[in-house]
């Protein structure tokens, strides 16, 4: 496939990983793993995420792995 012109990307410019205090949690459900979080982004066809965990950098390395 030869793309002519611009290619659009879906980008989430402000998201929180499971490490963040700002990550949505439901006390009735098990904690989301980093892998599950990333697969969820991919399932939503997000091409790029900007990780904005305000209180920690703990999620960066596990997500890279």
Domains in the chain: boundaries:
11-64
DSSP character for 32?
Answer: P
In 3D, which of 23, 27, 13, 12 has the Cα closest to residue 53?
23
Nearest CA to 55 out of 14, 3, 16, 11 is that of 16
- What is the pLDDT, as a whole number, of residue 23? 79
Are 18 and 37 in contact by the 8 Å Cβ rule? The answer is yes
pLDDT in tens, the chain (65 residues): 677 888 889 999 998 888 888 777 777 767 788 899 899 999 999 999 998 888 888 888 888 88
Q: What is the pLDDT of residue 47?
A: 94
pLDDT value for 29: 67
């Amino acid at each position: 496939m030869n793309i002519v012109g611009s290619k659009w990307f879906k980008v989430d410019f402000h998201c929180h990983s499971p490490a963040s205090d700002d990550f949505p949690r439901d006390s009735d459900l098990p904690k989301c793993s980093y892998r599950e979080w990333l697969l969820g982004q991919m399932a939503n066809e997000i091409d790029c995420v900007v990780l904005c965990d305000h209180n920690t950098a703990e999620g960066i390395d596990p997500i890279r792995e």
